[in-house]
Amino acid sequence: RAFTRYESEWGSLEPQIQAPASLIRHTERVLAGIFGASSARLVLTSALQGRSMELHELATIVDEAGDVFRFNRGLLQGAIEHIGMGVSVVDKELNLVAWNRRYVELFAYPSGLIQVGRPIADIIRYNAERGLCGPGTVDEHVDRRVTHMRAGSPHTSARTRPDGRVIEMQGNPMPGGGFVMTFNDITTFRQAEQLLKDANVVLEARVAERTQELSTVNQQLLAATHEAEKLSASKSRFLAAVSHDLMQPLNAAKLFASSWLETSGDEDSRRLAGHIDRSLAAAEDLIGDLLDMSRLESGKFTARPTDFSISSLFDTLQAEFGVLVEQAGGQFKVVSSQVGVHSDPRLLRRILQNFLTNALRYNPQGRILLGLRRRGEELSIQVWDNGPGIAEAQQKVIFDEFMRLEHGQRNHQQGLGLGLAIAQGLAVMLGHRLAVSSIEGKGSVFSVTVARDHLCMLPVPASLAQTTPKSGNNQLAGTKVLCIDNDEDILTAMSGLLTRWGCEVKLAHSGEAAHQHYASGFIPQVILSDYHLDEGVTGTQVVTELHKDYGAVPTVVISADRQPELLSDLQQKGFSYLSKPVKPLKLRALMQHLITP
């Protein structure tokens, strides 16, 4: 066969011609495949020299070649036996030449089937007949696999057997002809792979289920949030309505009581008017604290920190509380400063107002001091008093809701104990710290620590540095005041109060009536306007139109509405604000401040 293949490639061989070099090389390769290279060269050299070899010489060469063949085959067999997968090797004639024990075990071949020289087609046919090659006829399986081997095509495939085992097969050609096949049982791997796939399917199903549950919960939360927002908005509207409806009659009663107190000729009437005035003030404080606490809990307070000079805030508090402390028979001193702070001036003022209100409530005839101390990059704004002091145990809970001191209860002081709780809530919102230090029988110090602003150190204009007005002066005499309110009782009470202060007063129920006063030649020096008027019109709208038509005039907006948006809007417009019910002393102090050149 070897020389037939040579003839097909190089032409026919004629006995009469000398052997060409190509034939000699081909013959040497054929003999080398049988005897080995050295023996093949010896035999070929002897034949070319015309020397005939003795039989024993040829036998020796054949024996040596056989020994080498057996050694190489034993070496190959030993190597493949230690491989964990099944291995089979066929020569270029597609006959089986080597295999290992694992190959026989994987296919459970019968004894005698696997042997050297067995055509691989017989083994393929045996497997196909047992159904190990998949669908198709036996001849199709044999022809397809033999064709792959003859073509030397590498391939990889996996087949699931009827018993459930999965065998992976890889085939690769060998140099010079032949084919090597490996067979590996990957059943465990495929089972693990399937378990992972099943787990992934289950996981995806669970994820989808949880996602659906979360989506449902989110929708419920959105619906609940929407409902809560609606309730919060409704609550805000309710609070605004309650504030207005409660404070309107309370404001009128407060003004009438103040007028009665100032005009009463006999001591009994004055004492009765004083009791009424104090009761109304207590009711105002209770309502105000409840509304502020409700706003704080519902998040209606909005902090707008900015840089400003503390002197402006101190001047406002001095004007507000100076007259009150003097009226109560006490002393109030403010240590002026031009240091800049970073805070919300409106909310910081509310905190200090609560400190000062408590100091005045529990120490009416005593001394109160407002000032500040530097603490590095921070400032400690402090309110001192020489009142009864606070027990050490109560100092730890003094900022809790509904906390009232024992001596206040003994002296029948009005209040729900919410003032300091409100101050604490505002301080948390602003990032400030509240503290208290007290010695029983000697007094207390309440402080709020705020951030310092080094850029806000400019002097305060002289027009803002007002001294505390005295209650007995007649600074408002002749002052022209325009009062705008849709409540007849409040206008009547306000007119009586301002007239006794020496003011020239004009009353207006609406913006149209206010314009008529201007048209008749009355030019006010101060405008006092309610915020909520009839038909949805606001006092700020009416006053803005008056300023536009006739020129700007110092304006005080009076309202029970303490919404941050309203206060911010008034501040931007340059309007002052007083909450209902109006305290006459506060109103007087503010008006004196506004008309002072």
Q: Is a pLDDT exceeding 80 seen at residue 2?
A: no
Short-list 252, 293, 288, 303, CA closest to 579: 288
554 in Cβ contact with 526 (< 8 Å): yes
Please check whether residue 417 lies inside any domain of the structure: yes
Report the percentage of the chain scoring pLDDT > 90.
24
Domain encompassing residue 114: 83-185
348 in Cβ contact with 450 (< 8 Å): yes
Mean of pLDDT values over 403-426: 62
Asked whether residue 45 falls in the same domain as residue 98, the answer is no
Q: Is the model more confident about 492 or about 242? A: 492
According to DSSP, the β-strands at 576-579 and 179-185 are: unpaired
Give pLDDT, residue 470: 45
Asked whether residue 38 falls in the same domain as residue 171, the answer is no
Asked whether residue 327 falls in the same domain as residue 439, the answer is yes
Joined tokens for residue 468: 């505390």
Give the pLDDT confidence of 224-278 residue by residue, as tens digits: 888 877 776 676 666 666 655 666 676 677 677 777 766 766 777 777 777 677 6
Give pLDDT, residue 265: 66
What are the DSSP calls for 214-258, one per residue? HHHHHHHHHHHHHHHHHHHHHHHHHHHHHHHHHHHHHHHHHHHHH
Q: Which residues contact 425 (CB under 8 A, 6 or more apart)?
A: 293, 296, 301
Lowest mean pLDDT among 68-82, 190-204, 271-285, 476-490: 68-82
Give pLDDT, residue 540: 93
Amino acid at 1: R
Asked whether residue 176 falls in the same domain as residue 52, the answer is no
Q: Which residues contact 5 (CB under 8 A, 6 or more apart)?
A: none
- From 21, 52, 73, the end of a domain falls on 73
Report the percentage of the chain scoring pLDDT > 70.
73
Give me the residue label for tokens 């900022």: 399
Mean of pLDDT values over 113-124: 90
Please check whether residue 259 lies inside any domain of the structure: no
Joined tokens for residue 298: 């519902």
Q: Is a pLDDT exceeding 80 seen at residue 493?
A: yes
Asked whether residue 113 falls in the same domain as residue 60, the answer is no
Does the pTM of the predicted model rise above 0.95? no
Asked whether residue 54 falls in the same domain as residue 123, the answer is no
Q: Which residues contact 23 (CB under 8 A, 6 or more apart)?
A: 6, 10, 13
According to DSSP, the β-strands at 340-343 and 367-375 are: unpaired
| Residue 274 CA: distances (Å) to CA of 280, 363, 574, 585 | 10, 19, 34, 14
Can you give the three-state secondary structure of 153-179, one letter per residue?
A: CCEEEEEECCCCCEEEEEEEECCCCCE
Asked whether residue 170 falls in the same domain as residue 97, the answer is yes
Give the pLDDT confidence of 303-318 residue by residue, as tens digits: 788 888 888 889 888 8
Please check whether residue 273 lies inside any domain of the structure: no
Asked whether residue 310 falls in the same domain as residue 459, the answer is yes
Asked whether residue 334 falls in the same domain as residue 434, the answer is yes
For residue 93, give the CATH number of its domain: 3.30.450.20
Short-list 311, 331, 310, CA closest to 322: 331
368 in Cβ contact with 325 (< 8 Å): yes
Q: Is a pLDDT exceeding 60 seen at residue 58?
A: no
- From 147, 164, 185, the end of a domain falls on 185
Mean of pLDDT values over 541-560: 92
The pLDDT confidence band at residue 467, using thresholds 50, 70 and 90, is: very low
The pLDDT confidence band at residue 329, using thresholds 50, 70 and 90, is: confident
Give pLDDT, residue 385: 92
What is the per-residue burial (b if ≥16 Cβ within 10 Å, else e) of 441-472? Answer: eebbbbbbbbbbbeebeeebeeeeebebbeee
The H or E element containing residue 444 is strand 443-453
Asked whether residue 318 falls in the same domain as residue 448, the answer is yes
First-to-last C-alpha distance (Å) of the chain:
132
Tell me how far apart the alpha carbons of residues 544 and 219 are, in angstroms, rounded to a whole number: 45
Please check whether residue 449 lies inside any domain of the structure: yes
166: burial class by Cβ within 10 Å (0-12, 13-18, 19+)?
A: middle
Lowest mean pLDDT among 64-73, 109-118, 416-425, 449-458: 64-73
The pLDDT confidence band at residue 294, using thresholds 50, 70 and 90, is: low
Tell me how far apart the alpha carbons of residues 420 and 407 are, in angstroms, rounded to a whole number: 17
For residue 323, give the CATH number of its domain: 3.30.565.10
Mean of pLDDT values over 522-540: 91
**452: β partners:** 341
318 in Cβ contact with 460 (< 8 Å): no
Asked whether residue 170 falls in the same domain as residue 30, the answer is no
Please check whether residue 566 lies inside any domain of the structure: no
User: How high does pLDDT run on average in the chain?
Assistant: 79
Q: How many residues does the chain have?
A: 597
Q: Is the model more confident about 47 or about 444? A: 444
Please check whether residue 409 lies inside any domain of the structure: yes
Joined tokens for residue 448: 């709020």
Give pLDDT, residue 419: 75
Give the pLDDT confidence of 140-154 residue by residue, as tens digits: 999 988 988 888 888
Q: Is the model more confident about 191 or about 65? A: 191
Give me the residue label for tokens 């020239």: 504
Asked whether residue 69 falls in the same domain as residue 107, the answer is no
**24: β partners:** none
- From 466, 490, 506, the end of a domain falls on 466
What are the DSSP calls for 344-385, one per residue? -HHHHHHHHHHHHHHHHHH-TTSEEEEEEEEETTEEEEEEEE
Please check whether residue 540 lies inside any domain of the structure: no
Nearest 10 degrees: Cα torsion 414, 418, 419, 424: 160
Q: Is a pLDDT exceeding 80 seen at residue 591?
A: yes
Mean of pLDDT values over 201-208: 91
Mean of pLDDT values over 485-500: 88
**What is the number of domains present in the chain?**
3
58 in Cβ contact with 31 (< 8 Å): no
Q: Is a pLDDT exceeding 50 seen at residue 460?
A: no
Please check whether residue 539 lies inside any domain of the structure: no
